[in-house]
């Protein structure tokens, strides 16, 4: 297939694996996969990753989690001197 087909395929792998494509889009996607080993491998990897993530247990957090996290991030940001990442990088070496 053409590089355009591969580009479109890669842009839509997530939607394909999760079933978000229309029937027509899904059919065109499948046709491309039949002739493109590289894209087929990428779809297989995305499917494996999706399967793993679907097996994870959702951890419940407290209602105050977002507030506490934001507060701590703000405190940390205010605690650190404002310095460019470039200067921080070279200061640590």
64-76 pLDDT, tens digit per residue, is: 999 999 999 998 8
Where in the chain does DSSP place strands (E)?
Answer: none
Instruction: Tell me what pLDDT residue 87 has.
Output: 72
SS3 label, residue 25: helix
- Residue 32, both tokens: 């491309």
- Parts of the chain with a pLDDT under 70: 1-2, 4, 81, 83, 85-86, 88-89, 91-93
pLDDT at 1: 45
DSSP-based helix, strand, coil % in the chain, nearest 5 = 75, 0, 25
């Amino acid at each position: 297939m053409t590089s355009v087909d591969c580009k479109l395929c890669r842009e839509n792998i997530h939607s394909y694996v999760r079933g978000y494509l229309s029937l027509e889009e899904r059919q065109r996607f499948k046709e491309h996969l039949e002739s493109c080993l590289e894209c087929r491998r990428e779809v297989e990897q995305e499917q494996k990753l999706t399967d793993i993530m679907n097996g994870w247990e959702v951890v419940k957090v407290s209602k105050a989690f977002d507030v506490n996290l934001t507060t701590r991030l703000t405190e940390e940001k205010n605690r650190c001197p404002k310095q460019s990442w470039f200067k921080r990088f070279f200061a640590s070496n």
